Amino acid sequence: MRFYVGYLTLFLCLIVSSPSYSLAVTATDHQAAIIIDDFGGDVRGVSSFLSGDVPVTVAIMPFMEQSTEQAKLAHEKGLEIIIHMPMEPKIGKASWLGPNAITSDLSNEEIRKRIEAAIENVPHAKGINNHMGSKIVENERIIRVILEVAAEKGLYVIDSKTSSASVIPKIARELNIPCGTRSIFLDDTHSSKQQVLKQMNSLLNMAKKHDDSIAIGHVGIKGHETFAGIEEALPLFQKEGVTIVPTSHLLKTNIDEDHSDFWKPLVEGEEDD
């Protein structure tokens, strides 16, 4: 009997001291971020992202008819906001840029003025990325001015990677600015929901290997398809232990906010953009 009791006690101790494993994978194993570009106007997908439970970082073009309003709505929703700053491309229509774009003919003073005005126009912004800009991101003079303002205002910068010769990461390192780079585009102007799902699966696999994976999607022509594809993919992300977080969480920043409600589990391109 004493032997039996001793054996039972030892067995119970082993159970208590053993690691606890759950069939439900926690959503803290890996992280990724999803930036949605082209907010600021009344276009397809905006209302879905601002009213739904898809945890994205909202990139708002400044000086548009709804830029300030959408920034306030996104902030109230608990979403992180960045400025989607229009910049001159090597090829493309001027009409694609939007107002007060950064172009190569501008003086340093005018560039600074436009970036500061954009920050005023998009309240609560934590960072900045480029809209188009394949020409500008290769220009050290211009990028240095933009990033100097970002540093002064405590903003991080995301290189949308519209040019392989971008100097954004180089200048960001020099100025000690938190910087990230797009890993994958989720959509383009012809994307279906299934194509977005395929890209989301690629993001999932990237995030399992690298905790700095950043995807970029868009509102606009295919905004509804982009929203639907991301929304449908989220349960798989949760199951696989990949959490979608504010972009700042993937960077070395001083931004330290409570984003405990940012992840809300669901219950029941073009290179020059």
Q: How far apart are the first and last CA of the chain?
A: 77
Q: List residues bridging with 71 in a β-sheet.
A: none
The CB-side HSE value for 231 (13 A sphere, CA atoms) comes to 18
Question: C-alpha angle 52/58/59, rounded to 5°?
Answer: 150
CATH number of 25-250: 3.20.20.370
Global pTM? 0.83
User: pLDDT tens track of the chain, all 273 residues?
Assistant: 444 444 444 433 433 333 322 223 344 589 999 999 999 999 999 999 999 999 999 999 999 999 999 999 999 999 999 999 999 999 987 778 989 999 999 999 999 999 999 999 999 999 999 999 999 999 999 999 999 999 999 999 999 999 999 999 999 999 999 999 999 999 999 999 999 999 999 999 999 999 899 999 999 999 999 999 999 999 999 999 999 999 999 997 544 444 444 444 333 334 445
The domains of the chain are located at: 25-250
3-state helix, strand, coil in the chain (%, to 5): 40, 20, 40
Sequence-distant (≥ 6) Cβ neighbours of residue 272 within 8 angstroms: 89, 90, 91, 92, 132, 133, 134, 162
